[in-house]
Amino acid sequence: MSYANTEVAQIAAISSNRCIGKNNNLPWHISADLQHFKKMTTANSDSDIKGIVIMGRKTFESMNSKPLPKRISFIITSQLDYAQKKGLENCDNAYVVHNLDDALTQAASLAHGAHLETIWVIGGEQVFGNAMMYTDRIELTHVATEINDGDAFYPELPSDFKAAQESEQMNDDKSGLDFKFVSYKREKSR
């Protein structure tokens, strides 16, 4: 699939019932998952830009409305004055856009200039769903728990995504939750 010769990947942690959020927060705190997210979305490159992430407004606000270190953030919102409201209009590591197409187009252009192979879609529910048709790879942390009162869910994986790599089951000491990392790749149609 890819977008302007740049891989589009999604990354999320999901419960067994596909929950990714509750009250605009992660439903758990798993240090290894947060480290995995940082490692995946931050490239080992010579460029000043180490990664590019695309997210919705609520996801950005769940991170205290601060861009991620060493990465460029594209924030999608329908609020036309959002950049001014959040003081982002002259920010060189965060861009406010008003649709996914603009985010992908600008991110692919930046990725090309920074020699980055991947653009990361990091949430939330609506952005994941809308970006699925452009997505080549999905990195999911499967957390072995049900979240019955969650309010954001990861979309069903399309049938052309197959598990390509899977970590061993791990356990988070603090939360007691079991989890594993699974990498899914879109199979090319014949």
CATH number assigned to the domain comprising residue 75? 3.40.430.10
Q: CA-CA-CA-CA torsion for 162, 167, 168, 173, nearest 10 degrees?
A: -120
Whether 50 and 43 have beta carbons less than 8 Å apart is answered as: yes
In DSSP terms, 74 is beta-bridged to: 54, 95
pTM: 0.95
- Position 51 pLDDT exceeds 80: yes
Domain count within the chain: 1
What pLDDT does residue 44 have? Answer: 86
What pLDDT does residue 45 have? Answer: 78
End-to-end alpha carbon distance in the chain? 13
What does the pLDDT look like over 149-159, one tens digit per residue? 999 999 999 99
What pLDDT does residue 2 have? Answer: 63
Quick check: is 2 in a domain? Answer: no
SS3 of residue 155 by DSSP: coil
Quick check: is 90 in a domain? Answer: yes
- Tokens at 155, concatenated: 């979309």
Q: What residue numbers bound the domain in which 73 lies?
A: 7-186
